[in-house]
Amino acid sequence: MNAISEFLSKDHDRIDALADALRRETQPPRTAPCFQRFDHALRAHMAWEEDLLFPLFEERTGMRFAGPTAVMRAEHEQIRRHLQHLAAAADPPAVGAALDALAAVLAPHNLKEEQVLYPWFDRVLDAAEKSDLLERMRSASSEDPAGSGS
């Protein structure tokens, strides 16, 4: 797998599956192992974007304080606030409500990334740059979230 969009879109799918598992959980999120996996996966994904992808996009386009990465960073802050609310949820109905609120931000956010930012990387970066970026994302995580086995 050498497409940035494929790797990160698969990670979106993995995070969505973790959210579905959390929705079925009966323990409060702060004590549920599936919340820990979900929270870690989502925060790691945002870190890849903020630490690796967005700076490269901004360097190449000159859009540092405006444009798509500024919007994505603002949405990441909203997502982090929703994760805090989710961690504080005390029962399944509260968890469901917190997940719904998070999904209301996350779904359109992911769509924008998958339709705008990720394809940009696939178009603009050469094979060596993509390979390096994918390796850096994989090495920044203790697991290969997109399941490529590398």
Whole-angstrom distance, CA of residue 34 vs CA of residue 122: 32
- Does residue 129 form part of some domain? yes
Total number of domains in the chain: 1
User: pLDDT tier at 2 (50, 70, 90 boundaries)?
Assistant: low
Q: Is the pLDDT of residue 77 over 80?
A: yes
- Does residue 78 form part of some domain? yes
3 Cβ neighbours under 8 A, 6+ residues apart:
122, 130
Q: Is the pLDDT of residue 112 over 80?
A: yes
- Does residue 44 form part of some domain? yes
Q: Is the pLDDT of residue 1 over 70?
A: no
- Does residue 82 form part of some domain? yes
51 Cβ neighbours under 8 A, 6+ residues apart:
140
- Does residue 20 form part of some domain? yes
User: What predicted TM-score, i.e. pTM, was given to this entire model?
Assistant: 0.88
- Does residue 12 form part of some domain? yes
Chain mean pLDDT for the chain: 88
Q: Are 52 and 136 in contact (CB under 8 A)?
A: yes
Amino acid at 22: L
- Does residue 150 form part of some domain? no
pLDDT at residue 28, rounded to an integer: 78
- Does residue 91 form part of some domain? yes
- The SS3 of residue 66 is coil
For residue range 23-57, what is the model confidence (pLDDT) as tens digits? Answer: 888 777 777 888 999 999 999 999 999 999 999 98
13 Cβ neighbours under 8 A, 6+ residues apart:
none
pLDDT at residue 32, rounded to an integer: 81
Q: Which domain holds residue 99?
A: 4-139
